[in-house]
Amino acid sequence: MIDTTQAIVLAVVQGLTEFLPISSSAHLIIPRLLLGWPDQGLAFDVAVHVGTLSAVLMYYREDVTRMARHWLASLAGSPQTEDSRTVWYIVVATMPAGLVGLLGGAFIEAHLRSLPVVAATTLVFGILLGVADRRAGINPGGRELGWRVACIIGCAQALAPIPGVSRSGITMTAALLLGMSRQASARFSFLLSIPIIASAGLLQVLELGKTTHAVDWSQLALGVAVSGIMAYLCIAAFLRLLEKVGLMPFVYYRIALAGLLYFIWLA
């Protein structure tokens, strides 16, 4: 059982790393390795997922409301709009990751959560993110979202359950390589996180229902609040700075983090 200080630190880490292209799983493993902290437990995982989900829904509340209204109207027979099509793109792009989670989740949990795997994926997909960002700098892009683009981004997102890959990182990488702009890539990546985080949280809730451990509700509420606030601030700051600094600072950070993880593993 983690204490209050540990809960705050882990909620801050989750809130900051869920949407940045630096991998939340790689960061959540560090306190346990370096500081000997206990596992935060399934209930706390659910809490911070609720927090980050509430953050992205709050930030994109106008977009989500408009998209839902147009999508429901299209189901009732109204003409398709860009917003209603975006909902379908999100549905299509979510399917590959959902299948991987259902069919390969147990294998990933058993065999791919080791430190050398996390270090390797942090490094490799960090370098790939750098390649994509350099391409965006040379060719700012303007490709619009479509069925083919959504499918490819969805297939890329299917790699996200592997620790160290980073869901936001791999989806933005794919979008940039396909010719989308940085802002458009980030927006679709964040909207795409909504069904993924929601479904992951739902699965955790179902698992939590099978346990008999006591639940510290005050600590869970703290986790929801802290992770939600940090995630909201992170999204807002990231989108404001994206065009000014690009993604290379995150690439350098991932390379340094991979070096640290390799050092810990070898030591």
Domains contained in the chain, number: 1
Whole-number pLDDT of residue 154 = 96
pLDDT in tens, 181-231: 999 999 999 999 999 888 877 877 777 667 666 677 888 899 999 999 999
Question: Nearest Cα to 54, choosing from 203, 176, 201, 257?
Answer: 201
Q: For tokens 């259902």, name the residue.
A: 102
pLDDT digits (tens, 9 = 90+) for 117-170: 999 999 999 999 999 999 887 776 678 899 999 999 999 999 988 888 999 999
Q: Does the pLDDT value for residue 84 go beyond 90?
A: yes
What is the model's pLDDT at position 62?
96
pLDDT bucket at 40, cuts 50 / 70 / 90: confident
Residue span of the structural domain in which 73 resides:
4-266
Q: How many angstroms separate the CA atoms of 192 and 210, rounded?
A: 29
Residues in the chain: 267
Residue-level pLDDT at 26: 79
**pLDDT band at residue 35, thresholds of 50, 70 and 90?**
confident
Terminal-to-terminal C-alpha distance of the chain: 27
Name the band, by pLDDT with cuts 50, 70 and 90, for residue 63: very high
pLDDT per residue over 239-267, tens digit each? Answer: 999 988 999 999 999 999 999 989 988 88
Residue 32 binned pLDDT confidence (cut-offs 50, 70, 90): confident
Whole-Å CA distances, 259 to 150, 166, 173, 242: 33, 17, 21, 25
Q: How far is Cα of residue 258 from the mean position of the Cα atoms in its chain?
A: 18
Q: What is the pLDDT of residue 42?
A: 67
Single-letter amino acid, residue 152: I
Question: pLDDT digits over 90-107, tens only?
Answer: 999 999 988 888 888 778
Other C-beta atoms lying within 10 Å of the C-beta of residue 243: 12
Residues 6+ apart with CB under 8 A from 18: 24, 52, 168, 193, 197, 227, 231, 234
Confidence class for position 47, pLDDT limits 50, 70, 90: confident
Distance CA 225, CA 37 (A): 21
pTM, 2 dp: 0.90
Over 142-172, what HEC string results? CCCCCHHHHHHHHHHHCCCCCCCCCHHHHHH
Residue range 72-95: mean pLDDT, rounded: 94
Average pLDDT on 76-83 reads 92
